[in-house]
Every structure is written in C-alpha cells, then in structure tokens.
Amino acid sequence: MGSSGLARLQGLFAVYKPPGLKWLHLRETVELQLLKGLNAQQPPAPDQRVRFLLGPVEGSEEKKLTLRATNVPSLTTHRLVRGPAFTNLKIGVGHRLDVQASGVLGLHSAWPPGQSYRQLL
C-alpha cells in the first residue's frame, strides 16, 4: 500500500462491534490490522551508491591494487535498518458504544489539516 495506500485510508468507515467487546479494543485492533497491511508491502529497490573499492589491476601479473568504481546497494532505507515505515495511525471514533451494546461503530482516519469530517461525506 505504501504512502498511496495511506492516502486511500483517509475518510470515514463503519465497523461492526459485537456485544462484550470494548470500543477501544476494537479501534486498536482495526489500527493494528491497517498498520500490518501498510507495512507488509514490498519495499522499493534499494538505492545504488557508487563506492570506490580496492581491487587488483586486470591483466597485470604484478600485485598492484587500484581503485575501482562499483555500484553497491545503500542499506540506509532497508526495513531492518529503519524499522517499519508506519508505526501509528490516527483512528478516531465517531461515537462510543457500551460494552454490552452491539452495532455499527463509526471510525475515521486522519484527514488533511483544515478539512472537517463533514466535507468527507
């Protein structure tokens, strides 16, 4: 999904809340599942950097070393180095249902500053 997937998440959506489940637990579960989906996408190919590495001179029998320009991947954007791309989402609750109540719980994700939820309807 990446950042384009994050842009598609902006808006209002409805989630069924069964009886016996707290609204906060449901909101946190939805947020966790959305984060898993966003972070499960394939990362882009690593950037290539030019590095000068020492190597033997080709075609020479002498043991001379020379600098050779080589493309190597830059690992600064690797998932294991930077961690997950998304760590939290702003998921708001439109109303709060009691623990024993069941029904549709309105959730909304963060939208751009200056835009109200009424403009999303």
Residue 117 pLDDT > 60, yes or no? no
What local confidence, expressed as pLDDT, does residue 96 receive? Answer: 84
**Residue that has been written with the tokens 């579960």 in this structure:** 29
Our answer to whether residue 47 is catalytic in this structure is no
What local confidence, expressed as pLDDT, does residue 121 receive? Answer: 45
What local confidence, expressed as pLDDT, does residue 113 receive? Answer: 53
Catalytic residue among 98, 103, 104, 120: 98
- φ, ψ for residue 78, nearest 5 deg: -70, 145
pLDDT class for 77, splitting at 50, 70, 90?
confident
| Separation of alpha carbons 91 and 93, rounded Å | 7
What b/e readout covers 54-63, taking b as 16+ CB neighbours within 10 angstroms?
eeeeeeeeee
Flag the least confident range among 6-20, 56-70, 101-115.
Answer: 101-115
Express each pLDDT in 31-70 by its tens digit. 999 889 888 888 778 889 999 988 887 777 777 888 889 9
| Alpha-carbon separation of residue 84 from 1, 26, 27, 68, 87 (angstroms) | 13, 22, 20, 35, 7
What local confidence, expressed as pLDDT, does residue 57 receive? Answer: 79
| Residue 50 DSSP SS3 | strand
**Does the predicted TM-score (pTM) go above 0.85?**
no
CB atoms within 10 A of CB 109: 19
| Residue 51 DSSP SS3 | strand
